[in-house]
Structure 1
Amino acid sequence: MIILQQLKTRLGEAKGSWVDELPGVLWAYRTTPRESTQETPFSLVYGREAVIPSEIGEETWRIKSYDNSGNSESQKIDLDLLDEKREAAERIIHVYENKIARAYDDKVRPCKFKEGDLVLRKK
C-alpha cells in the first residue's frame, strides 16, 4: 500500500512509466527508518546503513573514512552485531505496539445496547 502511494506521488501524470520509477521507490522505502523499529529495513537485513547514491559522488565523511583493507573485518563485526540489533528492534516493536493499543483504547468508547434499541446494520 505504501509503495503504491509512493508510485502515485512520483508518477503524477506519467502513469505508464511506473516500471522506471519502481527501483527508486523501493530504495526509498528500504532506506527510510520505520517508527516501529527505529531502524531501516536495509539495516535490519544487512547490518549496516546503505550508502545513498547521492553520497557516492560527494566527499562525505563516510566516503572519506572508507578503508577497503578493513572492510571485510568491519563487515564481520556488523554481522555479529546484527542479531543484537534485530533483538533491540523487536523490543522497540513491542513498546510501539503497546503505545498504539493504548491510543486505540483511549479513543474507543464502549457501547451498551439494550433490547429494543435501534441500531444501524451494514449489509
Structure 2
Amino acid sequence: MEWVKKFLWKSVICRFGFPHTLIVDNGSHFASTNVCEFFQSHGIRLIFTYIEHPQSNGQVEAAKKVVLYGIKKQLEKTWTSWIDELPRILWSYYTTPHSSIHEPLFTLVYEADAMILIEIVEPTFQVDFFNEERSDNDQRAYLDTTKEV
C-alpha cells in the first residue's frame, strides 16, 4: 500500500502538516499493517468509521463516476500514475459548474471564483486592476443583495 502513504505524504502532510487524527472508512488500503505503522510512526491517530447515509449515496456515486472518467481519460493521454493525475482531476471537478446547482463547488465553499494558474504568469485585466478594498466592499454589497445558493 505504498500509494496510500505517497498520497497522504504529498497531498495531506506536505500541504497541511501532520494531522492529529485521520478518520477513514474501513477500506483495506487504510487497514493494512504497513499503513497503520506509518501513521503510528508519525504520531497520527487513525479512527475507522462506517458512514451510511442512503440519501447521499447516489450523489457520491455520481461524483465518483465523474472522477474515474477523468482519471481514465488522462491516463489514456499521459500514461502516468493515476495518483499523479488525481490533484488535476479533482481541481477540474471542484471548479466546473455542476448541472444540479449551476455553480462550481469551489464557489460554494470560498464564495469566490477560482483563479487559474495561467493568470499568475499572464495576468488578466481583472488581476492587473484588482483593488482589495473595493473588492471587499463590492463582495459585501453582493452578499447582502443576492439570494442564498
Query: TM-score if structure 2 supplies the norm length?
Result: 0.47
Offset, 1:14: 2.1
Aligned equivalent of 2:136: 73
Quote the Cα distance in structure 2 between the aligned partners of 1:78 and 1:53.
28
Kept after mapping to 2: 8 A contact 1:42/1:48: yes
Which one has a larger percent strand, Structure 1 or Structure 2?
2
The question of 1:28 aligning with 2:92 is answered yes
Aligned equivalent of 2:68: 4
Detail structure 1 runs of 4+ shifted over 6 Å in the superposition: none
Offset, 1:84: 3.1
Q: Which stretches in structure 1 are left out of the alignment for 5+ residues?
A: 87-123
Offset, 1:26: 0.4
Quote the Cα distance in structure 2 between the aligned partners of 1:28 and 1:38.
15
Kept after mapping to 2: 8 A contact 1:47/1:78: no
The question of 1:84 aligning with 2:142 is answered no
Tell me: CA distance 1:60–1:74, structure 2 relative to 1, closer, same or farther (3 Å): same
Aligned equivalent of 1:51: 115
How many residues align structurally?
84
Quote the Cα distance in structure 2 between the aligned partners of 1:30 and 1:78.
26
Offset, 1:51: 0.3
| Cα RMSD after superposing both structures | 2.8
Which SS does the other structure have where 2:82 is aligned? helix
Determine which structure has greater relative contact order: mean sequence separation of CA pairs < 8 Å that are 6+ residues apart, divided by chain length.
1
Kept after mapping to 2: 8 A contact 1:7/1:18: yes
Quote the Cα distance in structure 1 between the aligned partners of 2:69 and 2:126.
32
Q: Which stretches in structure 2 are left out of the alignment for 5+ residues?
A: 1-64
Structure with larger Rg? 1
Kept after mapping to 2: 8 A contact 1:32/1:40: yes
1:14 alignment partner AA: W
2:111 alignment partner AA: G
Aligned equivalent of 2:25: none
